[in-house]
Structure 1
Amino acid sequence: MTWIGSDGLPIFLGMGLLCLSAYVIARFHQSFQSSISNAPRLEPAATPLASLPAIAVVIPAYNEEINLRDCVEAVLKSELPDPQQLQVWIADDESTDGTRAIAQALVAEDPRVHLVAVPPRPATEVWRGKNWACDRAVAQAQGEYLLFIDADVRLEREAIAAALVAARASNADLLSCLPEIVCGCLAEWLVQPTIVRMLTAGFNIAAVSDPARPDVAFAAGPFMFFRRAAYDRIGGHRAVADNLVEDVALARQIKSFGLNMRLMLGLGLVKVRMYRNLGALWEGWTKNLHMGAQRKVSSTLLIALIAIFVLVVPWLGILLSGIALFAVGLREGAGFLLPLASAAALLLWESVLWRREAVLLALPVRYWGLSWLSGLLVAAIAIASIIKTETGWGWTWRGRSLALPHETTPSA
């Protein structure tokens, strides 16, 4: 068997793919380490707060009967010097399940809880996602600070005090925390850690907090802690009404106005379980992944390619080399031992790196043997997100359409 002859061509091509995979793995993990190495972490306050400014916690809720009570009760248990300074505003965004009844019960149980019955969106304006609900709640809420969280978020008792201390120490107009991701089913274990790693590698956390880098902006919607004056100055959610990925859009607004942005790891203090099954996960990520890439087809396709080369190609190398060895025998197929060993080495390398990074982000390490399936799922989500966003086909959230018939499709 020759190396590049007709019999050796598959080996040559296979080694080429594995070398490209090794390059992508190296660059990916280099970007991840660069982002996470100096990332600040939200920690419980070293000393108790002497006083508390008025803080309004806004929770937009659309069909959140599973999450709402646990979310609100966690907020109300926050350890604060003057709990009466904390108000909770539930914005029921025309839910069709038991969300409103649960909210009404919470209002009756604690005077700090308020319910906003969000009216239908104005027919003459474009409002996407939770922007309208947040805007309606803020119109009634009072406070020096506004904290926006999702109903699937669970705050530890020290979280709000820690955020206030950190915001004051850094003079932050917006402090956002990357939450700890909680996974409870196979689909979550396969997809969530991979996407979180990609998001972390895709931007530099320290650069996000650097006022000298207005071009780098990012925030995490599950925890957005605003100084009210800054929120009003940038126009609030109304300024990004048509943007489905409002967290990143608001971060860009903050930086474009020359205000201070602070991004931190909220591990241990802020937790979120975003999706509870494959269907919800598929609908959720295909809804906003392409929008998060600013509707640039090339950027979203890059996510798919990274998933394939980091997680799928090494497994594919082992599979195809093993099949070839079995088909022609060890003696005739000895040349396939090189790609087989190379693919195995890549898998071992990626496994070691992934386990180290999982510790840094408090991510679950399960089902590593199915990492190839994780890569395929993330790639499929990226491609489906492009199709849904650009065509409007099936672009929904919990059955609510996100597409606009008259909307023009931007170029890639």
Structure 2
Amino acid sequence: MTLTTLPILTLAITGLSVLIGLGFIRMFYVAQWLSPTDQIAADRPRIDVIVPARNEQDDIEHAIRSILAQRDVDLQITVINDHSTDQTGPILDAIAEHDSRVTVTYNDPPLLDGWFGKANAMQHAYQSTNRPYVIFADADVIHSPRCFTTAVQHMQQQQCDFLSLFPYVQLVSFWENVIVPHLMVFGLVTFLNPKLDDPDSPHAVAAGAFMLTRRDVLDAINGLSTVRNEALDDVMLARNIKAHGFKTSIALAPQLLTVRLFKNNRDAFWGFSKNILGAVSHIAFAFPAMIVPVVVYWIPIVVFLIGVYRHDGVWIACGLSAYMVQAAILVLASRLAQMRPLKSLAFPLSAIPIGCCFARAIYHHFVSDGVVWRGRVIRRSTN
């Protein structure tokens, strides 16, 4: 690559960014959007709510109380305290002591070989419950009071067997705002495939924050065993359910549930290490994937700075146009995320944590045959 090709590459990056933005706009019109319903169901659906929790002391109480506040449903909550080392356990005990609808299980069973922690916890809870509807909810998600009844009614109206809701994402710290918005946009554009509703297509997607299904569906696929060591356990669960002939669906639901994915800068910086290899079809592609954010985000800035140094309006325009188009995507993302604009505008720096997360994931893939998450390395089974 010669220096004179940089403006051409920058224009190509601008074009790619425009296509991603248009894809995101198209998603707004194609995707299902779900708002709270005022309709009261004839029968209160009986729901088992399964919440895996590991070191969630900052959010677990608000999350569980938002579930207990659900209207027009008959629910029982099973929380699996997955080897937490903070105050998650005592907080859960205090809630369970005053509300019989909450059952807390501790470190039972131990993490099985070949099982990732979250899937292990969900499988254990699923096997210990018996209600016809099952909701898997993350321990840091806050639900609006009519979230569950809205989801059940929507699933019944759509005659689907599995429904996932995508939440409104709150971004606070610097690295949250730098990393999450563009990755969220790219992920939604990538995974919300036009063939999601095609029963003959393998495409299906889910957000782990909220997944609703029926017990007979889980029984038919042998519970969570098929996703026991999947980093993208939510997506793969949806795909496995669809592969068994069931209908899956996902809806964007920013009015029904909210989540703050990462609680501080350190968590946000390393937070995608667990799932990032899911973005590539083979481990070999992870190495060039590390370079992509550098090319996409940094070359336009380099072109702009060279243009300023040379007093070259063409170079300045090329670099600035790429950055402005990429920044405009943040405006689109704001419908699904609460951002701090000044922090989010530093999005080119996301190339640093993305590269580090890839490097960390690649290291653990080859050295420990697993992933690192919440302070522990979880090994895949070699059997």
TM over 0.5: yes
Shift of 1:361: 2.4
Distance 1:403 1:140 in 2: 25
Equivalent position to 2:55, from 59, 63, 84: 63
Conserved 8 A contact 2:270-2:357 = no
Alignment match, 1:119: 108
Closer, same or farther: CA 251–295 of 1 in aligned 2, 3 Å: farther
Q: Which moved more, 1:245-254 or 1:285-294?
A: 285-294
Equivalent position to 1:147, from 131, 135, 151: 135
Shift of 1:394: 9.5
Alignment match, 1:6: none
Cα displacement string for residues 195-252 of structure 1 (whole angstroms, at most 9, x for unaligned residues)? 11110121225532332322x1211111111111111111111222122321111111
Conserved 8 A contact 1:54-1:142 = no
Shift of 1:337: 2.4
Alignment match, 1:342: 318
Shift of 1:13: 2.0
Distance 2:192 2:370 in 1: 33
Q: SS at 1:208's partner residue?
A: coil
Q: Does 1:223 align with 2:210?
A: yes
Closer, same or farther: CA 400–44 of 1 in aligned 2, 3 Å: same
Matches for 1:239-278 after TM superposition, within 5 Å:
239-278=226-265
One-letter amino acid of the structure 2 residue matched with residue 392 of structure 1: S
Q: Which moved more, 1:66-75 or 1:375-384?
A: 375-384
Distance 1:121 1:26 in 2: 48
Q: Which moved more, 1:302-311 or 1:366-375?
A: 302-311
Shift of 1:145: 0.6
- The structure whose Rg is larger is 1
Q: Does 1:389 align with 2:365?
A: yes
Distance 2:287 2:22 in 1: 20
One-letter amino acid of the structure 2 residue matched with residue 354 of structure 1: L
Distance 2:369 2:356 in 1: 16
Give every structure 1 segment of 4 or more consecutive aligned residues whose post-TM-superposition deviation is greater than 6 Å: none
Aligned length: 382
Equivalent position to 1:32, from 11, 16, 24: 24
Equivalent position to 1:358, from 325, 333, 336: 333
Conserved 8 A contact 2:77-2:102 = yes
Report the RMSD for the aligned CA atoms in angstroms.
2.5
Matches for 1:56-95 after TM superposition, within 5 Å:
56-80=48-72, 83=73, 85-95=74-84
Conserved 8 A contact 1:116-1:136 = no
Q: Does 1:23 align with 2:10?
A: no
Cα displacement string for residues 300-332 of structure 1 (whole angstroms, at most 9, x for unaligned residues)? 457545534443322222122223x2xxxx5xx
Structure 2 unaligned regions, length at least 5: none
One-letter amino acid of the structure 2 residue matched with residue 72 of structure 1: I
Closer, same or farther: CA 394–217 of 1 in aligned 2, 3 Å: closer
Alignment match, 1:99: 88
Instruction: Give TM-score scaled by structure 2 length.
Output: 0.91
Shift of 1:296: 4.1
Distance 1:307 1:365 in 2: 21
Q: Which moved more, 1:54-63 or 1:95-104?
A: 95-104
Alignment match, 1:280: 267
Distance 2:84 2:128 in 1: 20
Equivalent position to 1:186, from 174, 185, 189: 174
Q: Which moved more, 1:228-237 or 1:306-315?
A: 306-315
Percentage identity across aligned positions?
24
Q: SS at 1:279's partner residue?
A: helix
One-letter amino acid of the structure 2 residue matched with residue 156 of structure 1: S
Conserved 8 A contact 1:21-1:310 = yes
Conserved 8 A contact 2:123-2:224 = yes
Q: SS at 1:271's partner residue?
A: strand
Q: Which moved more, 1:197-206 or 1:152-161?
A: 197-206
Closer, same or farther: CA 342–274 of 1 in aligned 2, 3 Å: same
Conserved 8 A contact 2:116-2:379 = no
Cα displacement string for residues 36-60 of structure 1 (whole angstroms, at most 9, x for unaligned residues)? 4310011112422222121011101
Alignment match, 1:133: 121
Distance 1:107 1:382 in 2: 40
Closer, same or farther: CA 354–23 of 1 in aligned 2, 3 Å: same
Conserved 8 A contact 1:34-1:204 = no
One-letter amino acid of the structure 2 residue matched with residue 97 of structure 1: D
Equivalent position to 2:308, from 322, 336, 347: 322
